[in-house]
Chains A and B, each alone.
Chain A
């Protein structure tokens, strides 16, 4: 038979109801403090205007009495505020407890708590990655090897006898063109010199 402690039996609803009740009471006390302060101000004003000493004394006693009541209300309001603050902390603790209990039960959370299994899994993932990368690098090496073993076909891409003769003709024509240009330039500069003299 399991016995639950009073904190285990405590529900969030009970705490919320308690807080609401205290907030209501606190609001009522706040209103009464404001009302009493207004009364004190009013009586003080009347007392100043009053000429009769007896009535002034009466106002003074009344003001003091209301001040005492106001002081009592202020103390109660402070007590209620403190109480509400503690109940809010209790509510937060209940929420935290529920949160951590729920999240600890999550299956993924349980997986993470198994350190050995996690290390094994991570190593496996790393090895898979390394294997995949080495497949690519080996393929790249194979490409390079095959390309290196290839020899250029000289018949297609190389220079034949006829090609050699034509290339010589091209070079000669290029040289002649160059000499003609040089001669033209020399003549032009000589004419210019002559006209200046």
Chain B
């Protein structure tokens, strides 16, 4: 028999804080992987935005952070592919950057 207990607010807050930390570290990884100098300043800007996001015990905010992480993973694939220098991939990476910025803005509305 399973008993479900509601997580306390502090745990939920910590969960979101951890997710933000993971996202921030992922950007560091991307900065190392990326060989295209055009994207390095954009990555640094993105890292700053993500690192200073306000954690929240709101479940929707946590879900938004998870979505941001998924998009960062897609960006990783685009940058790894882009190291072969293709215009299509550069455009794809730009689109993903734009998506992530929009997701961060929407996430901040929920907080």
Contacts and interface: CB of A to CB of B under 8 A. Distances in A.
Interface of A: 12-13, 16, 19-20, 23-24, 27, 30, 95, 102
Chain A at the B interface: mostly helix, strand, loop or mixed? Answer: helix
B69 to A, nearest CB: 8
10 interchain residue pairs of minimum CB distance: A16-B73, A27-B84, A23-B80, A20-B80, A23-B81, A19-B77, A24-B80, A20-B77, A20-B76, A12-B70
Contacts of B77: 16, 19-20, 23
Interface residues of B, number: 10
B91 interface: no
A181 B74 CA distance: 99
A108 to B, nearest CB: 14
Contact of A30 (B70, B74, B84): B84
Contact of A95 (B70, B80, B81): B70
Nearest to B72: A16
B83 interface: yes
B63 interface: yes
Contacts, number: 22
A5 B99 CA distance: 33
19 contacts: A12-B70, A13-B73, A16-B73, A16-B74, A16-B76, A19-B77, A20-B76, A20-B77, A20-B80, A23-B77, A23-B81, A24-B80, A27-B80, A27-B81, A27-B83, A27-B84, A30-B84, A95-B70, A102-B63
B81 A12 contact: no
A129 to B, nearest CB: 34
Nearest to A95: B70
A25 to B, nearest CB: 10
Identify the interface centre among A13, A16, A27, A95: most chain B CB within 10 Å of its CB: A16
Interface string B59-89: 0000100000010011011001101100000
Nearest to B2: A2
Contacts of B81: 23, 27
A108 B81 CA distance: 40
Contacts of B76: 16, 20
Contacts of A19: 77
A16 B83 CA distance: 16
Contacts of B74: 16
A16 to B, nearest CB: 4
Contacts of A16: 73-74, 76-77
A133 to B, nearest CB: 39
Contact of A12 (B63, B73, B83, B84): B73
Contacts of B84: 27, 30
A12 B26 CA distance: 14
